[in-house]
Amino acid sequence: MAYEELEKQQVEGTDSHKEHGTKPNISPAVVRRLPRYYRYLRELLTQGITRISSSELSARMNVTASQIRQDLNCFGGFGQQGYGYNVHYLFTCISEILGVGAGFHAVIIGAGDLGRALVHLSMFEKRGVDILGMFDSDAGMEGTEIAGVTIYSLDKLEQFCEKNQVDIAVLTLPKEDVPAVAERLVKCGVKGLWNYMGVELDYSRDDIVIENVHLGDSLMILNYEICRNMEKKQGAAPAQSLDGE
């Protein structure tokens, strides 16, 4: 019973002090962690866990309980002293914060391997983003469907955007074409670009939000860490090499 009461009470806005509307300015470090909370809470839900304390969650996520509490408190008081957090309620709140319920519509520009791979992953639907279509400069592809998503000719981009509200564009087209297409998309009123193509599109414009995905960077970090790990082992345990002899 306590669960429902808690949820009801908090949903109705008895939030102690912080207005949910007035977000001061959340630090990037906190924002980067939010999706991780989202994932773990979803996992808890599927496991049927309805209540969790910051210390329990901290053990599962391998971060400090302090950090969890402080991160969440950037957005408001979602828990209850002496009780913990109601998983369902917290999940709902974080979903809200992350705009899962915003009902954004996306298009994928570039129907190459990467574009195709992305549609197939359940990534978008899980996060409340609806893919309206794919666009490719190869007009020959037009009409083809991939995972239920239709491919259009890139020429028809503007036409399409007039008829449909497009919020997000996923850029998986060749590097050299990215800047021009990005410009077109901004003109169409697209609000965010999810850019996979190494091209640095760091406009500090306020009419577009850009999220760059640098897969190559991630690979190089892995490379680096492997090198470091090898060095460490070599240095730490030179005697071990006798074992095999």
Partner DNA sequence: TTCTCCCTGTTATTTTTTTAACTTTTCGAC
Partner DNA sequence: GTCGAAAAGTTAAAAAAATAACAGGGAGAA
Question: Which of a copy of itself, DNA, none does residue 205 bind to, with CB < 5 to 8 Å depending on kind?
Answer: none
Pick one of 143, 179, 189, 198: the residue that binds a copy of itself (CB under 8 A): 198
Q: Which stretch binds a copy of itself (CB under 8 A): 5-13, 51-59, 158-166, 222-230?
A: 222-230
3-state helix/strand/coil string of the chain: CHHHHHHHHHHCCCCCCCCCCCCCCCCHHHHHHHHHHHHHHHHHHHCCCCEECHHHHHHHHCCCHHHHHHHHHCCCCCCECCCEEEHHHHHHHHHHHCCHHHCCEEEEECCCHHHHHHHHCCHHHHCCCEEEEEEECCHHHCCCEECCEEEEEHHHHHHHHHHCCCCEEEECCCHHHHHHHHHHHHHCCCCEEEECCCCCCCCCCCCCEEEECCHHHHHHHHHHHHHHHHHHHHHHCCHHHHCCC
Q: How far is the CB of 79 from DNA (least distance, A)?
A: 3
Under the binding rule (CB under 7 A), the answer on residue 34 touching DNA is: no
Binding to DNA (CB under 7 A) within 57-76 occurs at 63-67, 69-70, 72-73
Nearer to a copy of itself, 23 or 156 (CB): 23
Q: How far is the CB of 168 from a copy of itself (least distance, A)?
A: 7
Under the binding rule (CB under 8 A), the answer on residue 188 touching a copy of itself is: no
- φ and ψ at residue 78, rounded to 5 degrees: -100, -10
- Which residues are within 8 A (CB) of 10 and not within 5 positions of it... i.e. 6 or more apart? 78, 89
Under the binding rule (CB under 7 A), the answer on residue 17 touching DNA is: yes
Nearer to a copy of itself, 13 or 24 (CB): 24
Under the binding rule (CB under 7 A), the answer on residue 37 touching DNA is: no
Under the binding rule (CB under 8 A), the answer on residue 20 touching a copy of itself is: no
Under the binding rule (CB under 8 A), the answer on residue 192 touching a copy of itself is: yes
Nearer to DNA, 70 or 229 (CB): 70
Binding to a copy of itself (CB under 8 A) within 89-118 occurs at 97-100, 102, 104, 112-114, 116-118
Sign of CA dihedral 172, 99, 85, 50: negative
Pick one of 11, 59, 180, 215: the residue that binds a copy of itself (CB under 8 A): 215
- φ and ψ at residue 50, rounded to 5 degrees: -105, -15
Q: How far is the CB of 25 from a copy of itself (least distance, A)?
A: 10
Task: Tell me which residues touch DNA (CB under 7 A).
Answer: 2, 5-6, 16-18, 27-30, 52-55, 63-67, 69-70, 72-73, 77-85
